[in-house]
C-alpha cells in the first residue's frame, strides 16, 4: 500500500524474504578482524579540548538515528576487536585476575627517574614524562595527587584501570610509586610546552609540579606511573564518526556498542570525564600487520575525583552547561534550584575520598561533563549488555580492586567499596529489568532447552510467575518460521522441544516470554535460534526486542524532518515468530536522515571489507545483518555507499518497497509482521 505526498508515505511490506540467508556458517562471529588493512598511512590527529567541549555542547554531532549497534554479532554480543576484548563478559574472572589487570609487574620498583618531557598542556593533573635510567626505552607518565586530597587521584587511576581492563577495553598499565624528589634528574634534552611554545624543561618546572602535589611525611611524593604502550601515538578517537585515515574503522563510533554502553560503566564509576580527550589511538604492528589499537585512557577523574580537587556535587547530575537548568533559572528569576544543589558531599571521610555517593545515584539520569553522541545513542539493549558486565563484579572483586589503591585510611576503602556495590546494584535494577532478561539459551542433543534470567541472577528481581515458550522450524534461506505445537508454559528456566521439531530440522527457534507483574517489559519475546551440529544443537542467534515497535517489526524511517507515526492494527505477516500476537497501537518519532532497514535487509553488491560478504547498500540492518559494513558516503573501496534511487517504487530482491522524496530510500522485505504504518505531518 502506498499513499504518497511530497515527503511522506505509508508503507506495507509483506513480500518474501530476500535471498541472503539469516545465518552464515561462521556465525556467531566472535572475532571482528578489523586489523586486515594496512593503516601505516595514519597520521597523528590533534584534538582541542575546548573544541571538543564546544562542538559536543552546542552541536549535535554524529548520527542520532535510534538504530541497533552495528558491531554486534548474531548473539547480540560484541566480538573481540582492536577496540575491545571480552573478559568478564565471556568467562568468570577471579578477584586476583581482575586486580592484576594489564599490569606487567606486581609493583614497579624504580628508584631513580629521568625526566625527558613535560606533560601535554591539555591535562589538568600535574606531572611529567620520565624513564628509568637503567631502561631508557620505556617511557612513563607520572602524576601527583592534589595537596588537599592525598591519594585521591592516584587511587582513582589504578581502580579505574583495573575495572576498565576487566570490562574488556584496551588500557595502559598504571602503577603506584613513591618518588623521592632528590632522586629525580632532568635530561639535557627534556622539553616542555607552555603558552610561549616548546622550551627546555628546567628545575623550576619540576618545582612547580611538586608544589601542586601531596607530599608524604618522609618527603617523597606518591604518584601514578602510567606505562607508555608500544606503538606510535595518533591522538584521540571521537565518540562519533570514523577516523578518516584508518581503513579498518568502518563502523560509526556512535553506533559501536562498547562505546554506547560505556555510559553504563562511566555512570557506575562516576567517570564524568569520559570524553574524547581521554582516549588514545596507537599505531601498532603485530603479526605482520600495521593497524590502530584504541585505548581508554586517564581515569584520575572518577570516583568523585576531579584530579586537582574533589568533584562538585554537580558531577554526574548535570552537564557543565545545562540548558534546561539555565533556562529554568532564567524564567524563575533565579528561584529554581536544581536537585543537585541540595546534595552534599560526605565531609566525615578521609580526603582520599572525593565527592561520590550511592544515595543520589540514578543510573538513567547520570550525565558526563558534556554530551557524547555514543552515550546519547545508548538503547535499552546496549544498556542491558553493559549492566550484565557491571553485575558480573562480585562484592569480593570490587573490594579487592579498591584495595589496590592502597589507601592509608581504611575508611576510604570501606566507603568506596560500599558505594560501588550499591551503585552496581542500582545499575542492575535499572537496566537488567528494562528488557526481557533471558540469556544464554542452550539446547541439548535430546531437545532440552535451558536458559538463564540475568535479572534474577543479579538478585534485582524475583522469579517470574511463568515463562511461555513457542517452538518453530526456521527456514534460514527464506527467513520464515513454521510454528510447531504452539506455545507452552513452564515455571522453570527449562523446557522440552517437540519431538517432531528435532527430526529433519537444520534450524529451529524458541520464542521465550516471561510473565512478571512488576516487569511488563519481560513479556516481549526473546527468540533463540539453534543450528544442528554433529554433536547436537549450537546456539547461533538471539533477538531481544525491547519495545513494542521492534517486536512488531516496525521500521524507523528516515526523511527530511522528524514526523510522528502510528502503528495501526495489523495482522501477523508471513514471517511472524509464533507467540507474537496481534499488533497493538503505538507511537514513535521518525528519525531524520537515515533509514533503518528491516532484519531482512536488501543486500546489494557492496562487499563488506571486514567479512567479504554482501552488505546492504543503503543502511544498517536489524539483527540478521550483524556483519554488514556500512558507512554513508564512504570514499573507500569495499564499503557500502548509498545508492541513487528513484522517487517511485523499487524492486529489491523480490520485495516491493515504497520510497519517498527524501535523502535515502527504503528497501526491505519479509518483516516479522506486516502492519500498516502511517506517516503523518505534525503527529496527525
Inform me whether the pLDDT recorded for 665 exceeds 90. Answer: no
CA distance 234 to 665: 37
The DSSP-derived string for 62-98 is: S-------TT--TTS-PPB-SSB--STTTS---HHHH
User: 503 in helix, strand or coil?
Assistant: coil
For residue 464, give the 3-state DSSP assignment: coil
DSSP run (H or E) holding 207: helix 203-211
- Cβ contact 237:281 at 8 Å: yes
Between the two ends of the chain, the Cα-to-Cα distance in Å is: 19
Cα torsion angle, 646, 651, 656, 657, sign = negative
Find the mean pLDDT for residues 74-92. 97
Report pLDDT for 345.
76
Please tell me the distance from the alpha carbon of residue 471 to that of residue 672, in angstroms, as a whole number.
Answer: 15
pLDDT tens for residues 56-69? 988 888 999 999 99
**pLDDT one-digit tens code per residue, 275-313:** 999 999 999 999 899 999 999 989 999 999 999 999 988
Q: For the segment 491-524, what is each residue's pLDDT rounded down to a tens digit?
A: 999 999 999 999 889 999 999 999 999 999 999 9
Of 2-11, 480-489, 495-504, 539-548, the one with minimum mean pLDDT is 2-11
227 DSSP 8-state letter: E
Residue 18 and residue 669 in contact, taking contact as beta carbons nearer than 8 Å: yes
Q: Among all chains, which residue has been given the C-alpha cell 516487569?
A: 519
Distance CA 288, CA 624 (A): 33
Pair 468, 512: CB distance under 8 Å: yes
Residue with more model confidence, 414 or 585? 414
3-class state of residue 420 by DSSP: helix
Residue 654: the pLDDT is: 29
Give the pLDDT score at 330.
61
484, pLDDT greater than 90: yes
- Please check the confidence at residue 9 and state whether its pLDDT lies above 80: no
Where does 438-543 sit in CATH, by number? 2.60.40
Confidence (pLDDT) at 13: 30
Average the pLDDT over 307-336 and give the result: 77
The pLDDT of residue 329: 59
Residue ranges matching CATH 2.60.40 in the chain = 438-543
Most confident of 149-163, 341-355, 615-629: 149-163
Higher-confidence residue: 273 or 665? 273
Alpha carbons 683 and 679: distance in angstroms, whole number: 8
Q: Quote the pLDDT of residue 584.
A: 26
pLDDT digits (tens, 9 = 90+) for 193-243: 888 889 999 999 999 999 999 999 999 999 999 999 999 999 999 999 999
How much is the pLDDT for 337?
67
Amino acid at each position: 500500500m502506498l499513499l504518497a505526498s511530497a515527503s511522506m508515505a505509508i508503507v506495507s511490506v509483506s513480500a518474501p524474504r530476500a535471498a541472503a540467508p539469516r545465518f552464515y556458517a561462521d556465525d556467531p562471529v566472535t572475532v571482528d578482524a578489523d586489523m586486515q588493512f594496512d593503516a601505516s598511512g595514519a597520521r597523528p590527529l590533534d584534538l582541542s579540548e575546548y573544541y571538543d567541549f564546544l562542538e559536543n555542547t552546542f552541536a549535535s554531532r554524529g548520527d542520532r538515528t535510534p538504530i541497533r549497534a552495528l558491531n554486534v554479532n548474531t548473539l547480540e554480543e560484541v566480538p573481540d576487536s582492536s577496540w575491545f576484548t571480552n573478559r568478564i563478559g565471556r568467562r568468570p574472572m577471579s578477584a586476583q585476575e581482575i586486580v592484576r589487570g594489564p599490569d606487567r609487574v606486581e609493583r614497579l620498583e624504580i628508584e631513580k627517574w629521568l625526566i625527558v618531557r613535560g606533560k601535554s598542556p591539555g591535562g589538568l593533573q600535574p606531572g611529567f614524562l620520565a624513564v628509568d635510567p637503567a631502561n631508557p626505552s620505556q617511557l612513563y607518565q607520572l602524576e601527583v595527587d592534589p595537596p588537599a586530597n592525598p591519594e585521591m587521584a592516584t587511587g582513582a587511576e589504578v581502580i579505574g584501570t583495573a575495572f576498565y581492563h576487566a570490562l574488556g577495553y584496551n588500557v595502559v598499565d598504571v602503577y603506584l610509586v613513591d618518588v623521592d624528589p632528590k632522586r629525580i634528574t632532568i635530561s639535557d634534552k627534556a622539553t616542555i610546552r607552555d603558552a610561549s611554545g616548546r622550551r627546555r624543561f628546567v628545575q623550576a618546572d619540576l618545582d612547580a609540579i611538586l608544589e601542586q602535589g601531596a607530599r608524604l611525611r618522609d618527603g617523597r611524593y606518591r604518584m601514578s606511573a602510567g606505562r607508555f604502550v608500544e606503538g606510535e601515538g595518533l591522538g584521540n578517537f571521537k565518540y562519533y564518526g570514523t577516523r578518516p585515515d584508518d581503513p579498518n574503522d568502518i563502523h560509526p563510533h556512535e553506533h559501536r556498542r562498547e562505546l554506547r554502553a560505556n555510559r553504563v560503566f562511566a555512570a557506575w564509576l562516576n567517570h564524568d570525564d569520559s570524553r574524547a580527550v581521554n582516549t588514545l589511538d596507537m599505531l601498532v604492528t603485530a603479526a605482520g600487520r600495521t593497524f590502530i589499537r584504541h585505548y581508554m585512557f586517564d581515569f584520575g577523574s572518577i570516583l568523585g575525583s576531579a584530579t586537582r580537587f574533589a568533584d562538585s556535587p554537580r558531577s554526574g547530575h548535570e552537564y557543565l552547561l545545562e540548558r534546561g537548568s539555565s533556562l529554568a533559572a532564567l524564567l524563575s528569576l533565579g528561584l529554581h534550584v536544581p536537585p543537585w544543589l541540595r546534595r552534599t558531599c560526605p565531609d566525615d571521610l578521609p580526603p582520599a575520598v572525593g565527592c561520590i555517593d550511592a544515595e543520589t545515584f540514578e543510573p538513567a539520569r547520570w550525565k558526563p561533563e558534556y554530551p557524547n553522541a555514543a552515550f546519547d545513542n545508548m538503547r535499552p539493549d546496549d544498556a542491558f549488555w553493559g549492566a550484565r558486565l557491571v553485575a558480573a563484579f562480585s562484592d569480593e572483586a570490587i573490594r579487592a580492586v579498591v584495595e589496590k589503591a592502597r589507601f592509608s585510611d581504611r575508611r576510604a576503602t570501606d566507603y568506596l567499596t560500599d558505594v560501588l556495590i550499591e551503585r552496581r546494584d542500582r545499575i542492575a535494577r535499572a537496566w537488567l529489568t528494562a528488557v526481557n532478561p533471558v540469556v544464554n539459551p542452550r539446547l541439548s542433543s535430546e531437545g532440552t532447552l535451558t536458559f538463564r534470567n540475568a535479572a534474577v541472577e543479579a538478585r534485582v528481581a524475583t522469579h517470574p510467575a511463568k515463562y511461555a515458550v513457542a517452538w518453530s522450524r526456521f527456514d534460514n534461506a527464506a527467513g520464515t518460521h513454521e510454528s510447531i505445537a504452539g506455545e507452552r508454559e513452564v515455571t522453570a528456566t527449562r523446557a522440552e522441544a517437540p519431538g517432531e521439531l528435532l527430526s529433519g530440522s537444520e534450524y529451529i527457534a524458541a520464542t521465550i516470554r516471561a510473565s512478571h507483574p512488576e516487569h511488563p517489559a519481560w513479556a516481549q519475546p526473546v527468540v533463540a535460534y539453534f543450528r544442528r551440529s554433529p554433536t547436537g544443537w549450537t546456539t547461533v542467534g538471539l533477538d531481544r526486542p525491547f519495545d513494542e515497535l521492534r517486536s512488531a517489526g516496525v521500521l524507523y524511517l528516515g526523511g527530511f524532518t522528524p514526523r510522528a507515526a502510528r502503528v495501526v492494527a495489523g495482522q501477523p505477516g508471513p514471517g511472524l515468530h509464533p507467540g507474537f500476537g496481534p499488533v497493538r497501537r503505538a507511537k514513535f518519532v521518525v528519525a531524520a536522515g537515515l533509514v533503518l532497514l528491516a532484519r531482512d535487509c536488501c543486500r546489494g553488491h557492496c562487499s563488506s571489507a571486514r567479512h567479504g560478504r554482501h552488505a546492504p547498500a543503503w543502511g544498517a540492518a536489524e539483527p540478521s545483518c550483524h556483519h554488514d559494513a556500512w558507512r554513508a558516503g564512504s570514499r573507500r573501496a569495499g564499503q557500502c555507499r548509498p545508492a541513487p534511487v528513484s522517487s517511485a517504487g523499487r524492486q529489491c530482491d523480490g520485495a516491493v518497497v515504497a520510497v519517498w522524496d527524501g535523502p535515502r530510500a527504503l528497501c526491505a522485505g519479509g518483516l516479522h509482521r506486516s502492519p500498516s504504518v502511517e506517516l503523518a505531518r505534525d503527529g496527525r
